[in-house]
Copies of this chain bind each other. A is one copy, B any other.
Amino acid sequence: MREVAVIGIGQTKVDEHWDKSLRELAGFAVLDAVKDAGLNQVDALYVGNMMSVSANHQAQLGAYIADWVGLRYAESFKLESACSSGAAAFRTALLAVASGAIDTAVAVGVEKMTDSPGAEITAELATAADTDWEITQGVSFVALNALIMRRYMYEYGWTKNDFAPFSINAHANGVHNPHARFRKAITEKQYLDAGMVADPINLMDASPIGDGAAALVMVPLEKIGHSSANPLIKIIGSAAATDSIAVHDRKDPLWLKAAELSSKKAYSQAGLSPQDIDLFELHDAFSIMAALSLEASGFIERGKGPRLGLEGEIRPGGKIPIATRGGLKARGHPVGATGMYQLVEVVEQLRHQAQGSQVENARIGMAQNIGGSGSNIITHILQRV
C-alpha cells in the first residue's frame, strides 16, 4: 500500500448560492484545489454528495463535474453515505491512489440544498434515518437527535446550559473563516434564548444547511518533488465503520460505536493515541453529537463530554481544540460536502494558515464525519511531515 499525501485544497464559501449551478459550485472548489496542488490535470475524481438526485434532479455527478472542470474521460464516481458522503469520497480516493491504480486523485464534496423548499429538504434529510422504522413513525431527523440529547441529560445529569460552550466555541472560530456561513460570535445568553427546534435542541444546537463544496488533491508520497510550495501533509490514518441506522436498534444509543471503531483503527494505523492529536474536526451537526464524538473517540470518559467545553479545553489553546474553523455549527453543513470541509480545514491548520483560530504548532489533525445519527462514521488522521 503506497503512502499518500494531500497537496492541494479548494473550497467555496458555504452560503445560498442562487447564482451558481451544482456543477459550478463543485467545479470551482476542484479547480482551486488542482491549482493549489500546482497540477494541470488529475487522473480521477471522486464526488461526495447525498441528495443530488432528489434536490437537483441530477445523477452521476462524477461525469457531470469531471467534464465541467476539464477532466472529460477521467474515472469518476459519486459516493454516498448520507452526511458522511464527503469523507467516503476522500477514503475512496485514498484507496485508489494507495492501490497503485490511480496516480493523482481529487476528492470533492458538494451539496446544493437551497434549490429545495424548506419542507422538502426536511424530508430529504430524513432519508438519512431509517425510513421503514423511524421516519414512518413521524419523527424528523432533528427530533431523533433531540431524543438522544434528552436521554443523555437525564442519564448523566447535565443541563441545557452545559452544552453552550460547543456552540460558543464554534461561532467564535467561525468569525475568522472566510468560508463560514455565519461569522458572528454568540454569547451564552444568545445560546439560551435561541428558538426551540425540537426540545432540547434549539437553533444554537443545530447546524445550518447551505450550498457548498470543498476539494482535496492527493498523490502518492513517492511522486512528490522537492519543489512544492506547501508543507507536506501525509494521511496516516483512515478507517470507516457502520452501526444500525435506527437509533432504537442500538444497545446503547448514547455511545457512537462506529466512532470508537473507526478512531481506534485510525489511531492504530498512525501509531498514536488521543493525546497526540493537536486538533479534532468533529461532526457537530448537533451539540450533543460533539459530546458523543469526544467520548467515543477517547478524548474523555463516557458521559463527561460537556466538561471539556465547560473547562475551555475545546478552544484553540485547549487540550483538544474542535470546530477550529467554525465546525458544522458556524461554517455550515451542506451535508455531502461537510466531510471534505473538515479535511480541508485540518490541512489549513497543519499548514498554519488558520489565521485567528490557529492551533499553535499544529502537526497532527483528525477529522471525523458522521452519517445519519451515528450509522456511518469515517475517521482520518493527517500529519504535517
Chain A residues with a Cβ under 8 A of chain B: 1, 21, 23, 50-51, 53-54, 56-64, 66-67, 71-82, 88, 91-92, 95-96, 98-101, 123-124, 126-128, 130-132, 135, 238-245, 249, 257-258, 261, 371-372, 375-376
- B-side contacts of A57, CB under 8 Å: 123, 126-127, 131, 135
- B-side contacts of A372, CB under 8 Å: 59-60, 63
- B-side contacts of A95, CB under 8 Å: 92, 95-96, 99, 101
**For the complex formed by this chain, how many copies does it contain in all?**
2
**Docked-complex contact A242 and B53, CB < 8 angstroms:** no
- B-side contacts of A257, CB under 8 Å: 73
Given contacts A80-B59, A81-B60, A96-B95, contact A73 B243 (CB under 8 A): yes
**Docked-complex contact A74 and B131, CB < 8 angstroms:** no
The 10 A-B pairs at the shortest CB distance, nearest first, are namely A99-B99, A60-B82, A63-B242, A63-B375, A59-B127, A75-B240, A78-B80, A1-B100, A54-B54, A98-B99
A123 to B59 CA separation, bound complex (whole angstroms): 11
- B-side contacts of A64, CB under 8 Å: 130, 245
Q: List, sorted by A's number, 24 A–B pairs whose CB atoms are closer than 8 Å.
A: A50-B59, A57-B131, A58-B132, A59-B127, A59-B372, A60-B372, A62-B242, A63-B243, A64-B245, A66-B242, A67-B244, A67-B375, A71-B242, A72-B242, A73-B241, A73-B257, A75-B240, A76-B81, A77-B79, A77-B81, A78-B80, A95-B101, A98-B100, A99-B100
Given contacts A59-B50, A60-B375, A242-B72, contact A77 B101 (CB under 8 A): no
- B-side contacts of A132, CB under 8 Å: 21, 23, 58
**Docked-complex contact B241 and A74, CB < 8 angstroms:** yes
- B-side contacts of A77, CB under 8 Å: 79-81, 88, 91-92, 240, 376
| Closest partner residue, chain B, to A75 (CB atom) | B240
**Docked-complex contact A1 and B59, CB < 8 angstroms:** no
